[in-house]
Structure 1
Amino acid sequence: MLAWLRHSKIAMWGLTIIRLYLGFAWAKDGFEKLTGPKPFDASGLIMGAIKNPVTAPGGAKAFPLYDWFLTTFTNNGHSTAAFSFLVSWGELLVGLGLIFGTLTLAAAFFALVMNFSYLGAGVVSVNPTYIILGGLLLISGFNSGKIGLDRWVTPFLRSKMPFLNNDISVK
């Protein structure tokens, strides 16, 4: 299955459809956050996650490390400007990267980081679906960006930075 995802032309077209779907969803959300009538503010989400952490059956915190991270890096929810900036621009840039097929693997990785962050904060919404689709893009490697600018960007970057020539061989 992995070899098919990484080398098949049929998979390449299917991955392009998935990439475009996710790209437009991320770009739309990021664009709305950046151009909305009020600037996007992540403090409500962060305060909710700090005050009401996700709990596992039995009452224990489900994501104690994520709860610690949010509490520590937002000064107990009082300093959320950096997160608001990162979420808005991160969603837009991930979306554009996926739409244009530029640095597709990096965009898919950071999309997954945001999806897992939202899940850690207790927001389920479309995140499980996006995780599955983003994971498919990520494990498909270069094939997920072949119909896009990665067709030219990736070989150029690999010629300038040899450490990027370390593809996993799939048999």
Structure 2
Amino acid sequence: MIGLQRENLGILWLLVRLWLGYEWLSSGLEKVGNPAWTGAGAGTAVTGFLKGAIAKAAEGAHPEVHGWYANLINSIALPNAKLFSYLVAYGEVLVGIALVLGLFTTFAALVGAFMNLNYLWAGTSSTNPEMLVLQLLLLTAGPVAGIIGLDRFILPVLRQRFQNKQ
């Protein structure tokens, strides 16, 4: 896997980041502009999504949604639907911005992968599998994934500051 961390792959990681960033940003902005996600009806859209996931857990011997995840939805996400609505909408926007700018790329890829994994566990495929794989590759690439981006300038400064404090 060390081959993925070569600096000459920076342009490849830039293209991956730009596509992923666009996907996250466009999805998040659509949610932020929708009152069912972040307005007067916040929580409405996410409640519908989560109830749909729970329904998929009851379908036959091999459901799209595992029982443990349906229980997690019932016990944590649904009672806090309004909070999750804002977390999802603004989380998608922030991950998108970070990936496009190459700012804290590794962290953004980790958060994005976590969101994609949750969408998959909820029984939604769409572009989630492709996005998850690409984000895992960004994680494998490490700091090189953001070398053509703001990480090139910000990470060395942060490393130096933390090393000087020790």
- TM-score, normalisation: structure 2: 0.85
Measured in 2, the distance between the counterparts of 1:63 and 1:145 equals 35
Out of 31, 34, 38, the residue aligned to residue 33 of structure 1 is 31
CA distance in 1, matches of 2:47, 2:63: 24
Unaligned runs of 5+ in 1: 163-171
Higher share in helix: 2
Indicate the larger mover: 105-114 or 39-48. Answer: 39-48
Unaligned 5+ segments in structure 2 are 38-44
Deviations 1:91-146 (A, max 9, x none): 00000000000000000001100101001111011111111111111110001000
- For the aligned residue pairs, the C-alpha RMSD in angstroms reads 1.9
Whether 1:5 aligns to 2:4 is yes
Answer yes or no: is 1:53 the counterpart of 2:54.
no
- Contact 1:54 1:120 (C-alpha < 8 Å) held by counterparts: no
Corresponding residue pairs, total: 156
**Aligned pair in 2 of structure 1 residues 30, 60: CA closer, same or farther (>3 Å)?**
closer
**C-alpha separation between the residues in 2 aligned to 1:146 and 1:136?**
15
Question: Which residue number corresponds to residue 101 of structure 2?
Answer: 100
CA spacing shift, 1:73–1:155, aligned 2, 3 Å? same
Amino acid in structure 1 at the alignment position of 2:127: V
Which whole-Å CA distance do the structure 2 matches of 1:59 and 1:151 have between them?
46
AA paired with 1:123?
T
Does structure 1 residue 66 correspond to structure 2 residue 69? yes
Q: What is the TM-score when the length of structure 1 is the normalising length?
A: 0.83
Percent identity (aligned): 33
